[in-house]
């Protein structure tokens, strides 16, 4: 039997951040990348990876998230993760909790699931359900910036807040806003 003796702290790092509202995910004046510091590491997460200075160099932000949204973000040095989240983006489901205000139009929930357009293109079917009277749960593949807000507007709802809670099989969990944790080597999105 072969035991893998590689040191995971020497592998390219992938970091998961709970991005707060008001930070730019990929481009902008207030980059979320600036939040990824040794001091903001979530200490309750156990990944088995020892923090190294090299882990903070050349981190590429992936899977855009609107400035006015919070939630799970990914930064990586690993080409395999980059390929998975960019080349397979249309296959990876993202889950959001969207707090809304207003009265939904007749058949609005059915239209959110299938039948809306965004930026001139038909939106592929997705899964949208009520969590409670003010929160919708969206499970959607390859969402584009502004899309969730626009979808809600099309059915008469105003968006109060958006939070991404999952990318593929990776949940945000209980990670506090503004903190990050390592994505363990070998796990998959």
List domains and CATH numbers for the chain: 9-89+170-182 (3.30.70.580), 93-167 (3.30.70.1560)
Place of tokens 């609005």: 108
The structure's pTM equals 0.92
Copy the structure tokens of residue 43: 């200490």
Q: What confidence tens digit (pLDDT) does each residue in 143-165 have?
A: 999 999 999 999 999 999 999 99
Which string of b and e fits 144-179 if b means at least 16 CB within 10 Å? eeebbbbbbebbebebeebbbbbbbebebeebeeeb
Decide if pLDDT at 43 tops 90: no
Q: Name the band, by pLDDT with cuts 50, 70 and 90, for residue 27.
A: confident
């Amino acid at each position: 039997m072969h035991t893998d003796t590689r040191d995971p702290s020497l592998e390219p790092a992938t970091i998961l951040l709970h991005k707060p509202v008001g930070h730019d995910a990929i481009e902008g004046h207030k980059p979320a990348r600036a939040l990824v510091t040794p001091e903001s590491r979530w200490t309750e997460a156990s990944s088995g990876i020892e923090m190294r200075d090299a882990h903070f160099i050349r981190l590429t932000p992936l899977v855009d998230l609107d400035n006015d949204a919070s939630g799970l973000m990914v930064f990586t040095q690993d080409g395999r993760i980059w390929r998975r989240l960019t080349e397979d983006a249309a296959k990876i489901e993202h889950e959001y909790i969207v707090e809304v205000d207003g009265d939904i139009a007749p058949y609005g929930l059915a239209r959110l699931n299938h039948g809306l357009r965004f930026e001139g293109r038909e939106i592929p079917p997705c899964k949208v359900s009520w969590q409670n009277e003010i929160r919708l749960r969206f499970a959607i593949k390859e969402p584009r910036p502004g899309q969730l807000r626009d979808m809600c507007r099309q059915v008469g709802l105003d968006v109060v807040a958006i939070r991404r809670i999952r990318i593929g099989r990776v949940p945000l969990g209980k990670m506090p806003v503004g903190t990050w944790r390592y994505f363990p080597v070998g796990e998959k999105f």
